[in-house]
Structure 1
Amino acid sequence: MNPCKNQQWFRTQQAQLLPRQLINGGLEKTGSDQKHSSTRLFSSLLALALLLLVLVAACGNTSNTNDEQSQQFPKITETERIFTVEDFLSVGFKQSKDYDVTELPAATSAIYGFWQPGGGESVDYEIRFYPSHDDAVTKGTFFADEVTGPDGAVSDKDVTWKEGTRDRRTSGFTIGGGGGSLAVKYADYIIHSNVIMLCQGRDKDQSLDHCQSITNAVIEGGDQ
């Protein structure tokens, strides 16, 4: 049941309850009977009022959740623009490596480097380029999923495309604090037009924020 759509029903029930209680309770009665009827009427109205407050709160929470979801940066976006390495270099992206994409299906190039969102701390990115958005989605999604997120592969033996594996991991610690371990550097990625971007972050939200920052910079740079 949708709480927002049923608020009117409860208001109607509340409006109808008062005359019904007045009639059934017998206003013509006196003494203890009238006292008991008034008590029952008050209890019923109080219960309906509390229920209505709960429904209003639930409706508000649903609205806030929908607003937050609508404001999230989309993970997959199709546009007519085809991005190139130069588009990212033009906004200050510092390329450290140019990967060999011979074993990365359909990819035309892939670069690794860093960028400073808002001029702040440097963030690592791996950016893979494809001929089209469709190629990026159909041919590149598996390879991006494989090395990102909490279950992302960090070892050479577990990765399908081994180029750049060392750059996709960072040092971490075991839960019990018993020494160092390898951890995934990229908590998430996006597919924007013909580009797949793996963005450094301690969790999904931070990674997507970093992806959004550089994507917006490139788009705004291209519109100027």
Structure 2
Amino acid sequence: MTRRFLLITITLVTVMTANCVIGNQEVTSTGDLESGEFKNLFPDKTYSEEDFDHETIKFNKEYDVSELPLAISATRIIFDKKYVEARLYKTADTANEEGKTYAKSVTGPDGVVSGDSVMWKEKERDRRKCVPKAGRSEAGCDQVARYGGFLISGNLVLLCEGLGMVDAHNLCRKLIKQLNE
């Protein structure tokens, strides 16, 4: 009995150790995504609204960009059954400067999506979602950022829905790949 118990224990410890090692390798392979540090994917590319005219992209809403500095358009689309906010700027430089600042403010776990501190008020409720409060069964929720992260490609800033930054970046990259085909 003791020998069998010891064999089972050693097997479980080995499996758990292997899972921990594999799990750590996956996290480090996406370190650049998790840190939020990334480059403009296609800095010389200039996108237009016509680039989004594709069978896999569904237009959902158009936003008034008069209060979004240097933006020429902003649209919410549905791609791969998830929301994406696409913001176009005149140049890649303005997307990298103004666009990045405004996108960073409403994405990820620290995204400010309600209250007086929201930088761009236009349809701000579209950038948040209601998540039930932990450990509570009664009504009530926390307002959290809908968009897990964003990417910049040329003059385009994409805010992508996802459970975390890696999911959001994967969705953004998939859309950018399709736009560049």
TM-score, structure 2 normalization: 0.75
| Structure holding more strand per residue | 2
Deviation, 1:70, is 9.5
Q: How does 1:69-148 map to 2 (within 5 A)?
A: 74=38, 76-116=40-80, 122-148=81-107
Deviation, 1:79, is 2.8
Q: 2:159 aligns with which of 198, 221, 224?
A: 198
Contact 1:156 1:162 in 2 (8 A): no
Within 1, Cα distance between the matches of 2:31 and 2:143? 35
Identity %: 32
Q: Look up the match of 2:10.
A: none
Q: 1:188 aligns with which of 140, 143, 149?
A: 149
Superposed CA offset, 1:23-58 (max 9, x none): xxxxxxxxxxxxxxxxxxxxxxxxxxxxxxxxxxxx
RMSD of equivalent CA atoms: 2.5
Unpaired runs of 5+ residues, structure 2, are 1-21
| Structure 2 counterpart SS, 1:146 | helix
Contact 1:91 1:218 in 2 (8 A): no
Higher relative contact order (CA 8 A, sep 6+): 2
Q: Look up the match of 2:11.
A: none
Deviation, 1:162, is 0.4
| Structure 1 counterpart SS, 2:71 | coil
Within 2, Cα distance between the matches of 1:174 and 1:99? 30
TM-score, structure 1 normalization: 0.62
Please list every run of at least 4 consecutive aligned residues from structure 1 whose deviation after the TM superposition is greater than 4 angstroms. Answer: 69-72
| Structure holding more helix per residue | 1
Within 2, Cα distance between the matches of 1:104 and 1:91? 28
Equivalenced residue count is: 152
Q: 2:121 aligns with which of 162, 175, 181?
A: 162
Amino acid across the alignment from 1:203: G
Moved more, 80-89 or 172-181: 172-181
Q: How does 1:46-61 map to 2 (within 5 A)?
A: none
